[in-house]
Amino acid sequence: MNPRTRLYLLLVLLIIASSGVWFFYSLPGQGPAQILPATINRECAPWDGAAFAVSFRYDSITTITIFIWQSPSFTFPVTFSFPDETMRIGTAYSVLELDPLEELTGRVTFWRVEEGIPVEGEFNFTTESGKQFRGKFKAEWENEIVYCG
């Protein structure tokens, strides 16, 4: 190779490397996610079966509620996807102050769900308009008594 070809090759490689560095540093920060405080309660499924609900404030005007229509007893990680076309798993929605409910699309993962023990999980939801909600939560049990059926 002659010196001119080497110089062009070096410049092309330098441009590619610089572009790659710029791209990765321009991505939104992937720092540690804030763990949102939440509450968890026993609920009744639409057919009066066992269920539970996790609710938390996402930001100053948005509350997210996740209903799972199963007994709150998972000793292993479990992920639920929404919307649930079978209508047997549950639902998730957001409520903005002064706005109606908006059903969410996405998933929630619970690391473990046992009554009386704080429940931790993470979520990734999107509204129909494209707004994204992503994060982690830690839910404390409330002492509400629920009678189904």
Locus of tokens 């639902």 = 91
* pTM, to two decimals: 0.75
Tens digit of pLDDT at every position of the chain (149 positions) = 688 888 777 777 778 877 766 565 655 544 446 899 999 999 999 988 899 999 999 998 899 999 999 999 999 999 999 988 888 899 999 998 777 889 999 999 999 999 889 999 999 999 998 999 999 999 999 987 778 76
Answer yes or no: are the C-beta atoms of 92 and 125 closer than 8 Å: yes
| 144 backbone φψ class: left, alpha, beta (φ>0; ψ -120 to 50) | beta
Q: What is the DSSP letter of 70?
A: S
